[in-house]
């Protein structure tokens, strides 16, 4: 099957049967539509749903990085590439930039690929994608899910671009991390959800703190 996909995927001839790649239909669209005001959905995801989505993506990443026969580096983890099925379960998609290599070997990437805001500093500097660069992108995605803000946006005060990671880190240093949470969630909050909130926000902020120390 691998050989068939590799060969037929590149061949174009009238007398050859064409390969069609069909993905599962995701009736609830992509995750970004539920987080940002310009999205088409008016549904507000509660904390339990957001936490389950994050866990689903984490499970997908573990499979790609550790549990398959080769290491798969996705290289473009972002909310636009996370799709939701009929039960609002997360499905990681769009493997157009993905690369694979044997366990214990290094990925052979030399150019920057991905989406700004999710790209790790070492990837921007060296062009080398690793499991760690995927994990950093996942950390940014977690903050986006919790805060409902794009990874980079224009600061209305001075017109300068502002990175979500820096904004969340500043809130954490001020001791006001909960002020960074999506304000639409106030009516959904429960004691259990608050526990999920603290857990979800502590992971990416710890990672960003380590990054600021020159990880």
Indicate which residues carry an active-site annotation.
Answer: 76
SS (H, E, C) the chain: CHHHHHHHCCCCCCCCCCCCCCCCCCCCCEHHHHCCCCCCCCCCCCHHHHHHHHHHHHHHHHHHHHHCCCEEECCCCCHHHEEECCCCCEEECCCCCCEEECCCCCCCCCCCCCCCCCCCHHHHHHCCCCHHHHHHHHHHHHHHHHHCCCCEEECCCCCCEEEHHHHHHHHHHCCCHHHHCCHHHHHHCCHHHHHHHHHHHHHHHHHHHHHHCCC
């Amino acid at each position: 099957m691998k050989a068939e996909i590799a060969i037929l995927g590149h061949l174009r001839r009238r007398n050859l049967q064409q390969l069609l790649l069909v993905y599962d239909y995701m009736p609830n669209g992509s995750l970004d539509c539920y987080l940002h005001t310009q999205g088409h959905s008016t549904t507000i995801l509660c904390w339990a749903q957001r936490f389950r989505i994050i866990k689903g993506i984490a499970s997908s990443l573990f499979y790609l990085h550790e549990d398959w026969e080769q290491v798969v580096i996705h290289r473009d983890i972002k909310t636009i590439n996370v799709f939701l099925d009929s039960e609002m379960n997360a499905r990681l998609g769009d493997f157009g930039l993905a690369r694979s290599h044997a366990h214990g070997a290094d990925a052979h990437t030399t150019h920057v690929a991905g989406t700004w805001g999710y790209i790790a500093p070492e990837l921007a500097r060296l062009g080398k994608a690793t499991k760690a660069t995927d994990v950093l992108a996942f950390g940014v995605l977690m903050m986006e899910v919790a805060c409902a803000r794009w990874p980079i946006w224009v600061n209305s005060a001075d017109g300068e671009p502002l990175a979500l990671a820096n904004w969340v880190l500043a809130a954490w240093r001020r001791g006001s991390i909960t002020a960074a949470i999506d304000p639409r969630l106030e009516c959904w909050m429960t004691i259990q959800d608050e526990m999920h909130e603290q857990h979800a926000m502590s992971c990416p902020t710890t990672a960003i703190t380590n990054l600021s120390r020159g990880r």
